[in-house]
A = this chain, B = another copy of it.
């Protein structure tokens, strides 16, 4: 970015079998100094589609974005499901690496097509909401392009900033949301990446037959497992099916982690939302990218089907809703729209508002005021700058000591006191508090991949196994939700591995998944250690260890030794 140059490079031999998170984390580990300023010239921002992304493998349209995180100070991978990923795969682009930093005042877009790449001034799209800008980009460049972009919040180099990818409707609703990657992109003065896959050769399959055989097995498992099958839980109600389930488990944090179960939660459940979408004429089910068989997504709209927002995921609904004492889907939808429009992660944003409520800036439940806060961010006021910097920052500004973060990143929608395995993942993941890093909920609550008592504190092994498997899935390009099926259906898992072998020409087996995942995690943890992380960063905040969580009365009581045994390093 320093001199606005672009260059195509061949993928080095050593990276040939990597994709997605495995590739982003490896490049960061090799090329980014762990102690560098995340917003300085030495950080690199890397976009990498998964190994099978761009093929016809089901539910495989994922892209990983990686960098040193300005939020956590450690390595970060955040992934999203979007056609953008599939386009890159078909263009045979293993990764886009954004490096250096332009010192001027202008913002640029990277225009990338099969044979050309160039940077153009896009000041006309600066300081504007992404819904409007994405619409203009599609109008200007055609509906066939794919867009990655950062919003107004990133222009402030704020720590709660994600990278927005377009969904099938062209809305900026598919996010590599976590860890402030939007600010990394904006710090380099890159505002958008616009890709045009015209003439793309498609993904080369090393063994087409094996690939087909594998994807068929995987497809079969996805379409038969209760969680992922057509008219199954995810397909019918989306991820928000969890509202009632987690509330029932007394683990749905509400009013900034003050209570784990309320009657009001049902008002924002997946069931209630699906019903409302039907009434409004929104879309449900829906997919985040073509070729997804689970179709857990949706298009939420205002009443009468107006002004589509995109999906309201469970964690977004929770963060912007119950955790703020807000039980109104219309308010939550508009808060989610604002996050998408400004370029912010909904989980961090909801926690931010909740912490501000705890600090007295506004009352719990005051949705109208919460929406006004989003305008503070839009106007880049001092208050907006506080909020755009996320949960911990806002907590400090308002003198709050109840700040639910690990490695400075806010916790998602599962209270670690009531469901301890997910707490072990929050604590020990190299990514900071992140449910997707090792989704213990699957086993502790949903009975997927075995069963585990949510109250048991022996969760190191569960979290470790899930974190390792996740690191591999995040590298393949498969949606993490494929794990629900493949954890329970051995043939599905075999099929997944065969599909990867079919693309790469490798001969990986199911037994390689654990070690491969641990390798990726080691790369990431080594980066973090070199950046100054210690065991003390693998801890749950004091208030969650000491404050009893109504109505269960639980505290987070997993011993430090159990946490440290997850990686034993």
A542 at the interface (CB under 8 A from B): yes
Task: Please name all residues of chain B whose beta carbon is closer than 8 Å to the beta carbon of A389 when the two chains form the complex.
Answer: 396-397
Task: Please name all residues of chain B whose beta carbon is closer than 8 Å to the beta carbon of A381 when the two chains form the complex.
Answer: 382
A318 and B34 alpha carbons, distance in the complex (Å)? 33
A398 and B388 alpha carbons, distance in the complex (Å)? 11
Are the C-beta atoms of B536 and A401 separated by less than 8 Å? no
Number of interface residues of A (CB under 8 A): 36
Within 8 A of B (CB), among A342-366: none
Looking at the assembled complex, report how far the CB atom of A542 sits from the nearest CB atom of chain B, in whole angstroms.
5
A541 at the interface (CB under 8 A from B): yes
A157 and B539 alpha carbons, distance in the complex (Å)? 23
Query: B-facing mask of A513-537, CB < 8 A → 1, else 0?
Result: 0000000000000000011111111
Select A534's contact among B382, B383, B534, beta carbons within 8 Å.
B534
Task: Please name all residues of chain B whose beta carbon is closer than 8 Å to the beta carbon of A543 when the two chains form the complex.
Answer: 37, 40
Are the C-beta atoms of B539 and A156 separated by less than 8 Å? no
Are the C-beta atoms of A157 and B399 separated by less than 8 Å? yes
Question: When A381-B382, A382-B383 are in contact, do A396 and B159 touch as well, CB less than 8 Å?
Answer: yes
A39 at the interface (CB under 8 A from B): yes
Select A532's contact among B382, B537, B541, beta carbons within 8 Å.
B537
A457 at the interface (CB under 8 A from B): no
Within 8 A of B (CB), among A377-395: 381-383, 385-386, 389, 393
A542 and B101 alpha carbons, distance in the complex (Å)? 14
A330 and B34 alpha carbons, distance in the complex (Å)? 44
A36 at the interface (CB under 8 A from B): yes
Select A531's contact among B532, B536, B542, beta carbons within 8 Å.
B536
A228 and B199 alpha carbons, distance in the complex (Å)? 80
* Of A35, A396, A398, A542, most B-chain CB atoms within 10 Å: A396
Select A385's contact among B37, B398, B537, B542, beta carbons within 8 Å.
B398
Task: Please name all residues of chain B whose beta carbon is closer than 8 Å to the beta carbon of A40 when the two chains form the complex.
Answer: 401, 542-543
A52 at the interface (CB under 8 A from B): no
Within 8 A of B (CB), among A397-417: 397-399, 401
Question: When A534-B532, A536-B531, A542-B37 are in contact, do A382 and B397 touch as well, CB less than 8 Å?
Answer: yes
Looking at the assembled complex, report how far the CB atom of A525 sits from the nearest CB atom of chain B, in whole angstroms.
14
A34 and B535 alpha carbons, distance in the complex (Å)? 13
Select A382's contact among B37, B382, B401, B541, beta carbons within 8 Å.
B382
A319 at the interface (CB under 8 A from B): no
Task: Please name all residues of chain B whose beta carbon is closer than 8 Å to the beta carbon of A397 when the two chains form the complex.
Answer: 382, 385-386, 389, 393
A158 at the interface (CB under 8 A from B): yes
Query: B-facing mask of A24-40, CB < 8 A → 1, else 0?
Result: 00000000001111011
Looking at the assembled complex, report how far the CB atom of A71 sits from the nearest CB atom of chain B, in whole angstroms.
10
A14 and B532 alpha carbons, distance in the complex (Å)? 35
Are the C-beta atoms of A35 and B536 separated by less than 8 Å? yes
Task: Please name all residues of chain B whose beta carbon is closer than 8 Å to the beta carbon of A399 when the two chains form the complex.
Answer: 39, 156-158
Question: When A382-B386, A532-B534 are in contact, do A539 and B35 touch as well, CB less than 8 Å?
Answer: yes
Looking at the assembled complex, report how far the CB atom of A78 sits from the nearest CB atom of chain B, in whole angstroms.
20
Looking at the assembled complex, report how far the CB atom of A204 sits from the nearest CB atom of chain B, in whole angstroms.
41
A385 and B534 alpha carbons, distance in the complex (Å)? 30
Are the C-beta atoms of A37 and B401 separated by less than 8 Å? yes
Within 8 A of B (CB), among A41-99: 42
Task: Please name all residues of chain B whose beta carbon is closer than 8 Å to the beta carbon of A398 when the two chains form the complex.
Answer: 156, 385
Task: Please name all residues of chain B whose beta carbon is closer than 8 Å to the beta carbon of A396 when the two chains form the complex.
Answer: 157-159, 389, 393
* Of A40, A397, A398, A539, most B-chain CB atoms within 10 Å: A397
Task: Please name all residues of chain B whose beta carbon is closer than 8 Å to the beta carbon of A42 when the two chains form the complex.
Answer: 542
Question: When A158-B399, A539-B35 are in contact, do A385 and B386 touch as well, CB less than 8 Å?
Answer: yes
A541 and B159 alpha carbons, distance in the complex (Å)? 19
Task: Please name all residues of chain B whose beta carbon is closer than 8 Å to the beta carbon of A36 when the two chains form the complex.
Answer: 542
A386 and B157 alpha carbons, distance in the complex (Å)? 15
Select A39's contact among B35, B401, B534, beta carbons within 8 Å.
B401
Looking at the assembled complex, report how far the CB atom of A396 sits from the nearest CB atom of chain B, in whole angstroms.
6
Task: Please name all residues of chain B whose beta carbon is closer than 8 Å to the beta carbon of A530 when the two chains form the complex.
Answer: 536
* Of A37, A533, A539, most B-chain CB atoms within 10 Å: A37
Question: When A393-B393, A396-B393, A399-B158 are in contact, do A532 and B536 touch as well, CB less than 8 Å?
Answer: yes
Within 8 A of B (CB), among A106-151: none
Task: Please name all residues of chain B whose beta carbon is closer than 8 Å to the beta carbon of A532 when the two chains form the complex.
Answer: 533-537
Looking at the assembled complex, report how far the CB atom of A117 sits from the nearest CB atom of chain B, in whole angstroms.
27
List 10 A–B pairs whose Cβ atoms lie within 8 Å, in order of A's numbering. Answer: A35-B536, A37-B542, A39-B399, A39-B401, A40-B543, A158-B399, A159-B396, A389-B396, A532-B533, A532-B536
* Given pairs A37-B543, A382-B386, 9 additional interface contacts (CB within 8 A): A40-B401, A156-B399, A187-B401, A381-B382, A382-B382, A389-B396, A532-B534, A532-B535, A533-B534
